[in-house]
Amino acid sequence: MDSIFVRGGKQLHGQIPIAGAKNACLALMPATLLSDEPLTLTGAPRLSDIRTMTELLQSLGAEVTSLQEGQVLAMSSHGRIETRADYDIVRKMRASNLVLGPLLAREGHAEVSLPGGCAIGARPMDIHTDGLARMGAEIELKDGYLHAKAQGGKLKGAVIDFPFASVGATENIMMAATLAKGTTVINNAAREPEIVDLATCLRAMGAQIDGDGTSTIKVQGVDRLKGATHRVVTDRIELGTYMLAPAICGGEVELLGGRIDLLAAFCEKLDAAGIAVTETDMGLKVARKNGRIRAVDVTTEPFPGFPTDLQAQMMALLCTAEGTSRLEETIFENRFMHAPELIRMGADIDVHGGTATVTGVERLKGAPVMATDLRASVSLILAGLAAEGETRVARVYHLDRGYEHVVTKLSGVGADIERIKGQ
Ligand code: EPZ
C-alpha cells in the first residue's frame, strides 16, 4: 500500500484543473443500460471508482471503452445484458447499486448484491426499494442479493414520496421511470447538481424529465431511449477540496473550471471564515483575506446545504482557526473518523455523537496518520500542507477512488508532497 508524505508550511500559488464529477459519472455510466444505442461520456475523471463501475457494466455484458487516457468513456449495451450484479464487484463500491433501476427498466428483472458495510455508515437501500415497489417491482432479499422483478415485465409510473432526499435513490428511480409505463413523480427528491447532470443526459437520450434540481421530479415514461454524447459536470467536491488548500496554508490558487453555483453554501462558510473567493474567466481564485482563519459553525445538509462530502476537509481548516467551531454531521452516522487522526497532529477536537467541537490551535504538527475513507484521507493531506514538519498519510488507495493525480495537482502549485510506493 502506498503512502503520501507532505512537508508543511509552503504557501501555494498557481492553477489546479478540476476534473469531471465522480458522483455524476457513477450515475451516468449505468444509463447506458437504458438504450441499445451508444452512450459516450466526455470529461470523465480518471479514478478507481470509475474503473470499478466499468468492470461491473462489462460483467453485465455492456461494452465500455476508455479513450483519451480515461477522459472519454464510449459505452454500448446493444447485445444480451446479464441481470446479476455480483457481490465481488458491488462490495467494492456502493454506487454499484445504481444498476438496479436501469436493469429493471430494461429487462424487467435484476439481482443486485447489497453493497455491504461502509466505513461512514450502514447505508441501507430502503428508499430505493420502496420506490421501485411503488412502481410495481416485487423485491426480495435472498443470500445478500436484492431479487427484483417488475410485475407484468414492465415498471409502471407512480407517485413516490421520499422520507429523505436520497441522492442514489433519486438517481435509481429517475432512470427506472424513463422507460416505465406512465408518469412518475418523486416528491422530496435530491437536488444535487449530479442529479441535474444525469437528467440532462437522459433528456439528450430522449427521456421526458422535468423538475430536476428541485424537490419534485416528474418523468413521463417513453418506449425507448436513443444514444447520446454527454460531458460530465465539474466535480464540486474536488473543487471544494482544493479551494481549501490555499485557505489552509496561504497563497493564492486558481481552480480551473470551478463554478460558484455548485458550492454556494460552502463558499458562504469560506467567506465567514475569512477566505476570499473570486470568479475569474477560467474558474475561481481563492486566497485568505488577511490574518488568521476565523472559527465558523457548519451543519451538513442535502443540496443546496453544506455538502457532507466536504465536512472532513472543512474540519481540517478549522483546526487552526481562531476560536471554537461546531461541525454537525446530519447525513451519515459515522463520518468523523478523520478526527482522531487530526488529533494525532495536535488538533483539539471533541466528538459527541453527530457533533464535533473544534477549538483552533496555533499550528498542527506533522505525524504519521491513517486514511480511513475517501474524504477523510484528503482532509489529512490538507492538514499536512499547513502542519509543521512531515505528515505521512498511509492507505492512500482511499484517495485514488475520488482524486486523480492529487500529488501532481498540489505539487504543481508548490506543495512539498510525494507518494512513495509500498510504504
Ligand atoms: C451519494 O451517496 C454520494 N455518492 C456520497 O458521496 C454522498 O456523501 C451522498 O450521496 C450524500 O450527498 C455517490 O453519489 C456515488 P444518500 P448515496 O442515498 O446516494 C441514508 C463520496 O464521498 N439512506 O443521499 O449513497 C444513508 O444511509 C460519497 O463521494 C437510507 O437510509 O447517499 C445516508 O445516511 C460518500 N436509505 C443518507 O440517507 C436509502 O435507501 C444519505 O444517503 C438510501 C440512503
Angle at 223 between CA 165 and CA 76, to 5 degrees: 80
What one-letter code names the amino acid at 249? C
Q: What is the mean pLDDT of residues 74-82?
A: 95
291 pLDDT tier (thresholds 50, 70, 90): confident
Atom 30 (ligand 1) nearest CA: 124
Distance CA 30, CA 57 (A): 7
Average pLDDT, the chain: 96
Distance CA 124, CA 119 (A): 13
CB 254 within 8 A of CB 16: yes
Ligand 1 centre and the CA of 308: distance in Å? 9
Ligand 1 centre and the CA of 129: distance in Å? 15
pLDDT at position 307 over 70: yes
Nearest to 8 by CA among 344, 315, 262, 387: 387
Domain end: 202, 231, 260, which one?
A: 231
| Same domain? 394 vs 373 | yes
CB 146 within 8 A of CB 100: yes
Atom 4 (ligand 1) nearest CA: 23
Looking at the CA of residue 192, tell me the nearest atom of ligand 1.
Answer: 12
Atom 34 (ligand 1) nearest CA: 332
- Active-site annotation holds for 267: no
Radius of gyration over alpha carbons of the chain, in Å? Answer: 22
| Same domain? 254 vs 225 | no
| Same domain? 222 vs 239 | no
Region of 373 on the Ramachandran plot (φ > 0 left; ψ -120 to 50 alpha; else beta) = beta
| Same domain? 227 vs 239 | no
Atom 38 (ligand 1) nearest CA: 166
Residues with CB under 6 A from ligand 1: 23, 26, 94-95, 121-128, 164, 166-169, 308-309, 331-332, 374-375, 402
79 pLDDT tier (thresholds 50, 70, 90): confident
Cell of 382: 490538507
Q: What is the mean pLDDT of residues 147-167?
A: 97
Supply the range of the domain harboring residue 35.
22-231
Tell me the CATH number at 310.
3.65.10.10
Ligand 1 centre and the CA of 168: distance in Å? 6
Of residues 292 and 271, more confidently modeled = 271
Q: Tell me which of 23, 130, 379 to substitute to probe ligand 1's pocket, judged by most ligand atoms within 8 Å of the beta carbon.
A: 23
Q: Is 157 helix (H, G, I), strand (E, B) or coil?
A: coil
| Same domain? 98 vs 197 | yes
Q: Give the per-residue pLDDT at 117.
A: 66
- As for how many domains the chain has, the answer is 2
Question: pLDDT digits over 101-137, tens only?
Answer: 999 999 999 999 998 767 788 778 999 999 999 999 9
For 88, 101, 135, the CA distances from 85, given in Å and listed in that order, are 9, 12, 21
Q: What is the pTM assigned to this prediction?
A: 0.97
Distance CA 205, CA 37 (A): 9
Q: Give the per-residue pLDDT at 120.
A: 82
pLDDT at position 423 over 90: no
180 pLDDT tier (thresholds 50, 70, 90): very high
Domain end: 212, 231, 250, which one?
A: 231
Question: pLDDT digits over 42-63, tens only?
Answer: 999 999 999 999 999 999 999 9
CA dihedral for 394, 21, 19, 269, sign (positive or negative)? negative
Q: Give the per-residue pLDDT at 183.
A: 98
| Same domain? 287 vs 370 | yes
Question: pLDDT digits over 351-395, tens only?
Answer: 999 999 999 999 999 999 999 899 999 999 999 999 999 999 999
Q: What is the mean pLDDT of residues 325-334?
A: 96
Q: Give the per-residue pLDDT at 359.
A: 98
